[in-house]
Structure 1
Amino acid sequence: MPNTPLETEIRISSALEAFSTRDRPIIKQLALEFNVSYDTLRRRVRGAGPRTARIPTNRALNAEQEKALHTWIVTLDNAYSPPTAAMVEQCANAILQRSDPTRSPLSKNWVYNFLNRIPKRLDLKFVTQKPKERSRMQAEDISCILIWYERFQNYVQSNDLRPKDIYNFDESGFQIGQGKPQKVVSKSPTAYTPNGGIAEGITTIECVAADGWKMPPWFLVKGQYHMENWYRTTNLPPDWTIAPTPNGYTTDEIAMQWLIAFHKATKPRVSTGGFRLVLMDNHGSHRTKEFIEFANENRIILYCFMPHTTHLSQPLDSAPFQTYKHFFKTNNNSVVQWGGVVDRKCDFFREIINVRAKGLTPRIIRAGFEKTGIYPFNVDLIVDPLLKKVEYGPDLLVFGGGALGSDSEGGTDFPSSITNSPPQGVHRTNQSTKKLEDDIQELEKLAMQQSDLSSRILHRTKLLCQSARISANLAAQYSADNTRILKHKVHRDTRQTKRQIDEGGPLSVKDANRSIKAREDRETAKEERRINRALKKAAASNVAPTPASQILRELRQAIASLEP
């Protein structure tokens, strides 16, 4: 079995250690003893480093340019806008074009090779980006979440609440007949899962407790009447509830009736004089006067989640509803695949019995409370993942005395060929730092005989040159990014009109613009007639006429106010 580079490097290191400790060592004998190449060992003895540690000379970007690209990626990632592979490639090409306009673009595979050699400390990798509502992303404020959890903990401790006293209720929708992708054994490259056809939606109201208990469900269907086949052909449990509503969603009346049912179902579970804490979202039907008064009268504590944070803090959203819907869709696949029907309300009620038994088990319910840090209480489960998204870069500290270009004795006279203005742009910055590094190389020869202070100053100057090149590349890229952001912002902030075109049916763009122009001409003519009538009225009443310039200005303002 061939040796790995790591094993070979370990043997070379052992041979080098033996060479430095033995008296009159012979390289050839050490190469045979440690089973390494004679030429490699001789080169390493003479001071050469391992070839794996050498920086390749054929890289498209130099060290400063790659570091600028690293910083740009981390900055976008911390701003909750991680770049795609195409964006990284565009940024790298832009950096190359700024330093060398004649440089050809990078290959399509360059970005993947680049990410493979990114330092592990940055922890950057390709991940699948999933859409998330902007309001939910903006609501992930760590300080607000900590305050919410601290208040919740105070409620639990001050009222001596146990797991059976902590509840969470929420609504969730099911699409009748909906299935999901599944793996099958087939010789066809495009096998399809049979689907019952998507029909209406049904809303379920579920309530669970931290000890794994679940309340009999409520199902809200769109309509006005109950159908007999919902009950006669489904064998629904007698304590389940079906409520027709105008649109299939919760109303104020339904929410109030549900709260009364919740009180009756949980009253035997609460101790005498004890409280029940109900976690819920901020839906309007949960905050009516009647809803809150009934809860206060019956020692029910209503504790709302912060807006747009239920995906973080609500137990039902973490595991129970996900598992519930998973079994619902897979069950639909199975029924249809064996010739059954799942696209009617009666089919839904017949199948939901076993689906709910599998998807809302006590273990899954308790897991939902545990994952959200509700019970057992652990806010770190929510805060730690959010903290990992925020990284703070090191501050650049420059140590020294007076201002750049002056000394403690009143300043230095520079020759007239040296400009006092800082270099502008990436190309000029690279030129200036290159000249400075050439000067540093000459000074290093003199510093070998000077004090250690001179060496440290030269080293810091080198670091500043590298930092200048990185900052120049970043500044140019941020400027280009801002230009693109402003371009999209113009379209987003453009005032939208709600005017309708007075024509129906199919309409071409040319005809639509002609209709809009005709409407504007009619409104302009109408405004001109109004002004002419006002002028005639003023002349008849011997009022001093309005100057023509003012009339024209008012006319333009009136026309501008009519435009969208």
Structure 2
Amino acid sequence: MQARRGPYRLYDVDCLTQAYIAVKEKGMSIRKAALSYDVPKTTLIDRLSGRVGIDVVRSGPVTLLSLEQEALLTKHIQTMAEVGYGYSRQETIDLASDYAVSLGLRSKQNPLTDRWLYMFLSRWPELNVRKPRSLEVARAKCATRVAIDKYFDQLNNIMVKYHIAAKPHLIYNVDEKGMQIEHKPPKIVSGKHNKTQAITSGRSKIVTLIGCVNAVGHQIPPYFVFPGARMLDDLMEGASPGAAGTVSLTGWSNTDVFEYYMKHHLLKYLPPRSPNEPVLILYDGHKSHVSLSLIEWAKEYNIILFVLPPHCSHLLQPLDVSCFGPLEMAWNALIHRYMRESGGCLVTRYEVARLASRVYSSTLTPSNIQSAFKKSGIYPFNRNVVPDHQIAPSTTFTDSEAEVNTPMVSNTKACETPSAEQFFEQRGGKILQNVQKAKKSRNTLSKIIGGMAITEDDILAQIKAHTDKYGPSKIKEKKSASKENNKKRKQTSPKASTSNSVKKPKKVLESSENCDSSDEEDVPDSEKCVVCKHFSPDRTKRPFIIIVSWGQCDQCSGWVHLSFCTHVKSIRRGDAFLCPSCNDQLQ
């Protein structure tokens, strides 16, 4: 029986390094250093003689790239992944192959393989293959360190001004969540060689759930927005106590729906307020959340409306950070189980309130809500809660050289040649050097309300000024003016003539109004109407008709003005057509 091999490398790598230094610098004997640091004597002799490098920590042949070269490659891969432009498996292999070719260690005809990649990943445990989360380009651009720091400065000022930093029962967060009826099936247990499938309800309109929580961990009963034109009592059947709902044409929230929710649903669950102890409500800056009537109402009822920075809710909004993710997973699992237990019954909008209330209550737990406020840095207040790697994608869109963050080559200049650094700069330079040009700034409302308390007097004045200058009434005036200008241009510009078209198998010609001005004498008789003997019909009878259609008789092959010189208005493919003369002869 073959003896079982013991574990690989019983000694510590740091102990080997210390034994090497003890012999080289302190003059300790090899035998004593091996016994003192508990490392094999032969292994220490190989490092001292130079047969094996001191940095080599595993047996086998020497790797293609040195330790310094692989470290530089690893740093580059990590940097590109952090900024949102990471490499896939094959791209990593191609990158390493090109890198080895540039160093003269490999030929283009002999690229690296998958085996090299997996050995490379085993040597560098800080690297692994994972599926990244999708990040919209707007979120990548806007989630900058400057914007986040400005937001926390304003939030801290409001909390200090109204003395609510230590009062979590007065800090709320409101957000919407679209409940997809066509759920995403969860992972299931099935046969190893089976192609698994899961039945869904099919595509349908979305039902919006408006949720609200506070920093203590309490949740406000949900509010549903159903697609439709009339609110039915059956839509709220089985919902949790206190839940309410309304309808909109699309199922999404809008300005009227959100304002009604704030004034009639949320208000009755808020604690008592006073000018010295108001309630702080944070939400994102969607256009449906900002209206002058809502702001005036909030000031009257001692409510502070604080708008988060634009496109930063994935980092700063508690419900997005830690609550709606578990809610969506529980929703998909519940819909999957419901369809199985109900015998394949489809999920409609009449089951959404009953099922969504269950997952809303089970996932938005006090511990989960408190963790969400802590992770977003609101309570307890922590302005350093967002790490640098989460805002790294924004560095690829900044235009200032002061914000450029390229750790790819900063720590490796001393250990690598300039050609290797230039290689990686060429492969990822357009991303890492921040070459995006600054675009023309737009006068959007989000630049005023983003990261601000819109109930403050100075912000409210700016909102009113922006509404007066760029509000819906101004947009309508611009659109009406542009329409009038387009009409004038159409009236003054000459009309282009329309070429005659032929329909097969029945020949039908079409002519435009310019045919009235054509010279009748220049038109051959074979192309004129066999009834009126003219190319252009009499327009005085029907001045509203612009295009004239022609039909060719099946018997005499003559052309006739359709709808003018015959009662036939159109000819379809395969239909028989006779001019009035041939038709009278047959009768």
**TM-score, normalisation: structure 2:** 0.59
What is the match of residue 185 of structure 2? 180
Distance 2:302 2:314 in 1: 27
Q: Does 1:470 align with 2:420?
A: yes
Counterpart mapping for 1:102-141 below 5 A: 104-118=110-124, 123-141=126-144
Cα distance in 1 for partners of 2:176, 2:38 equals 70
Structure 1 segment 78-477 matched on structure 2, within 5 A: 79-98=83-102, 99=104, 104-118=110-124, 123-161=126-164, 162-176=167-181, 178-184=183-189, 189-231=194-236, 234-237=237-240, 239-262=242-265, 264-270=267-273, 273-340=276-343, 341-383=345-387, 385-386=389-390, 392=407, 467-471=417-421, 473-474=423-424, 477=427
Question: Which SS does the other structure have where 1:254 is aligned?
Answer: helix
User: How far 1:7 sits from its partner (Å)?
Assistant: 2.9
Secondary structure of the structure 2 residue equivalent to 1:319: helix
Distance change (3 Å), C-alpha of 1:154 and 1:383: farther
Partner-residue secondary structure (3-state), 1:295: helix
The number of equivalent residue pairs is 412
Against the structure 1 CA distance between its residues 4 and 305, is the aligned structure 2 distance closer, same or farther, given a 3 Å change threshold? same
Label 1:110 to 1:367 Cα distance change in 2 as closer, same or farther (>3 A). same
Query: Compared with structure 1, are the counterparts of its residues 210 and 127 closer, same or farther at alpha carbon in structure 2 (3 Å cutoff)?
Result: same
**Contact preservation (8 Å) 2:176, 2:208:** yes
Give per-residue Cα distances to partners, 1:408-461, cap 9 Å, x unaligned: xxxxxxxxxxxxxxxxxxxxxxxxxxxxxxxxxxxxxxxxxxxxxxxxxxxxxx
Conservation of the 8 A alpha-carbon contact between 2:215 and 2:369 = yes
Q: Provide the C-alpha distance between the structure 2 equivalents of 1:315 and 1:110, rounded to a whole number of angstroms.
A: 43
Task: Read off the aligned partner of 1:107 and give its amino acid letter.
Answer: T
Displacement of 1:196 = 4.0
* Alpha-carbon distance between aligned partners in 2 of 1:179 and 1:167, rounded to the nearest angstrom: 30
How many percent of aligned residue pairs carry the same amino acid? 22
In structure 1, how many angstroms separate the alpha carbons of the residues matched to 2:27 and 2:155?
A: 70
Superposed CA deviations along residues 342-377 of structure 1, whole A, max 9, x for unmatched, are 512222233233232212233322222122111111
Question: Which residue is equivalent to 1:454?
Answer: none
Larger mean Cα displacement after TM superposition, 41-50 or 332-341: 41-50
CA contact (8 A) 1:221 1:245 kept: yes
Residue matched to 1:440: none
By how many angstroms is 1:173 displaced?
0.7
Q: Distance in 2 between matches of 1:252 and 1:470?
A: 56
Out of 307-316 and 468-477, give the one that drifted further.
468-477
Which residues of 2 match residues 523-538 of structure 1 at below 5 A? none
Q: Unaligned 5+ residue runs, structure 1?
A: 399-462, 487-501, 503-564
Bigger CA drift: 190-199 or 103-112? 190-199
* CA pair 50-388 structure 1, distance change in 2 beyond 3 A: farther
Supply the distance in 2 between the matched residues of 1:104 and 1:145 (Cα, whole angstroms).
48
Following the alignment from structure 2 to structure 1, what is the Cα–Cα distance between the partners of residues 298 and 65? 66
Q: How far off its partner does 1:214 sit?
A: 2.3
Q: Distance in 1 between matches of 2:376 and 2:424?
A: 39
State the TM-score, normalized to the length of structure 1.
0.61
Structure 1 position 315, deviation (Å): 0.8
Q: Taking structure 1 as reference, are residues 175 and 48 closer, same or farther at Cα in structure 2, changes over 3 Å only? A: closer
Give the residue type in structure 2 aligned to 1:283.
Answer: H
CA distance in 2, matches of 1:31, 1:308: 59
Alignment of 1:30-69 (within 5 A): 40=42, 43=45, 47-48=49-50, 53=55, 59-61=63-65, 66=70, 69=73
Q: RMSD in angstroms over aligned alpha carbons?
A: 4.4
Contact 1:197 1:343 in 2 (8 A): no
Structure 1 counterpart of 2:420, one-letter code: I
Contact 1:96 1:103 in 2 (8 A): no
Q: Which has the higher helix share?
A: 1
Compared CA separation, residues 126 and 20, structure 1 to 2 (3 A): closer
